[in-house]
Structure 1
């Protein structure tokens, strides 16, 4: 039986850690189920009551998360059969990703601010905001200060997840528009959207480069770029030397999403090991060390740990 406390060893030449992460987290329902699980929801009926999700989609996502060792199915009653879904060590390790999503939505999606949970740091006794920092020097780190190069298992081809999830039916699509983290889902809740955002963070700016790097159909790239510009995370500009060429650059809002990306990459690097080595090698330019993402409390500056954080649901 697979052990949820140890990393998954990937096959040589297969989809790398980035692609595996995007295949899991680049799905809106998976993220929403995980968010609920990390705040204490364990039973099917609770997930169903909390989320605008159909029975078939919820069943599929719970099975996926169980197969991928983020949740563990525990039968607590046999007649009739009843089971609960408990977060494993691998699932709990996603708390920095969820905190980063909540913090980004709080600052950049005004209509969502009152609906987000309060993050309380038990160590210092204050409500807090997580600050992305470099483990080596302890300083806060912005996207402009983090360099990224492909590692031994890294390439665009190997970083795009295998296969697409089942397309949601019109009824499912309509129900989710009631709106749980809609802007985050636009960026991160689709495998191609999250891959394109990753390319933007690595410096890709031209349409043809997005298309060739991701191996995605032109219509899909155009649709995602249009959606990102409408959301305000990218802006289209003219190339200084070729006015007929459009370039797509990250805005301040787009750059502010970097902690979500950094936390996700960190999680992927730990839990999915390719025999060739890591997919990405990150460096913190100011101190010159390898960049290992940590999160600190903006109130006391102490490093955050999952067992010292309380999540208080919005009233």
Structure 2
């Protein structure tokens, strides 16, 4: 597909997709991960992410331009700057916790200190749960429905990235806690495929129509999500042989992250017409307003109760 033709493609408007387009890049996610761990100085970002300095300069500049990081001087001669999370950046906290939660749900989850966050309110190691504010029940793909919102419509399809795709495990200075999540989210096509799967899209042609991806790219990313255990490849027709891609149990555990990204996108990326989609929590019938709580004590979780951000 030529760039000229691609520029006229549109996709379903989605706050989660808008958020992923903005931050769903491997190196951007690594920079944000470091920022939430308290890193603010350039050399600290280099040490925590393993990024080349030129690449890091680019990603920090993008996050600053997006209003997620703010640059502030900490030294006058010579002038040196630190990069700090803004209110918009700190508001990604729920999404960051849902990434942590997804890795904690794995049976082989790493046990290094970077994987553990203490909930100061109760003193327990934090296991975050996304819950409905109205009824307090946990949010899942099976108890939530989506309908068009006042901002429903079409968005321009994200353009191709100039940078080489990079989702190879073990690359750079990536902590084990974040590796698999970044493998899923750190590539535009894989992250958007996961979001499309939650719309119930399973077949190759339907996914291609939704995302506008070239066939070879779509095949590659579907194979990667199967290898990561997020999708199952299931044959639904024998002659000719045809396959569909269904979310695994582990893949469905990503739903709270999609909800957190959608809520952030509604707050920061929606136009004046409002959010493009509305979620309803079926157990209570209320429009979903999600809140992160500690599984141990039930208390609300925020940066001030964990020491992150």
1:224 is aligned to 221
2:24 is aligned to 26
Indicate if the aligned counterparts of 1:102 and 1:116 stay in contact, CA closer than 8 A. Answer: no
**What is the distance in 2 between the residues matched to 1:169 and 1:203?**
27
Q: CA RMSD in A?
A: 2.6
SS in 1 for 2:117: strand
SS in 2 for 1:239: strand
Indicate if the aligned counterparts of 2:20 and 2:191 stay in contact, CA closer than 8 A. Answer: yes
Query: TM-score, normalising length from structure 2?
Result: 0.87
| Closer, same or farther: CA 257–40 of 1 in aligned 2, 3 Å | same
Indicate if the aligned counterparts of 1:74 and 1:83 stay in contact, CA closer than 8 A. Answer: yes
SS in 2 for 1:176: coil
1:167 is aligned to 163
Per the TM alignment, residue 301 of structure 1 is displaced from its structure 2 partner at its CA by 1.1
The one of 126, 142, 145 aligned to 1:144: 142
The one of 47, 57, 64 aligned to 2:45: 47
Per-residue CA distance 1:8-40 (angstroms, 9 max, x = gap): xxxxx9976434311222101111111111121
Per the TM alignment, residue 95 of structure 1 is displaced from its structure 2 partner at its CA by 1.1
Indicate if the aligned counterparts of 2:103 and 2:109 stay in contact, CA closer than 8 A. Answer: no
The one of 255, 264, 289 aligned to 1:292: 289
**What is the distance in 2 between the residues matched to 1:306 and 1:178?**
24
| Closer, same or farther: CA 79–299 of 1 in aligned 2, 3 Å | same
Query: TM-score, normalising length from structure 1?
Result: 0.86
Within 5 Å, which residues of 2 pair with 1:268-287? 268-287=265-284
| Closer, same or farther: CA 14–285 of 1 in aligned 2, 3 Å | closer
Gaps of 5+ in 1: 1-12
Per the TM alignment, residue 42 of structure 1 is displaced from its structure 2 partner at its CA by 0.6
Per the TM alignment, residue 145 of structure 1 is displaced from its structure 2 partner at its CA by 0.7
Per-residue CA distance 1:133-168 (angstroms, 9 max, x = gap): 11111111211111112323335x5274x3244313
> Which deviates further from its counterpart, 117-126 or 232-241?
232-241
**What is the distance in 1 between the residues matched to 2:51 and 2:300?**
36
Within 5 Å, which residues of 2 pair with 1:128-207? 128-155=126-153, 157-158=154-155, 160=157, 162-168=158-164, 176=171, 179-180=174-175, 181-207=178-204
| Closer, same or farther: CA 96–169 of 1 in aligned 2, 3 Å | closer
The one of 72, 75, 78 aligned to 2:76: 78
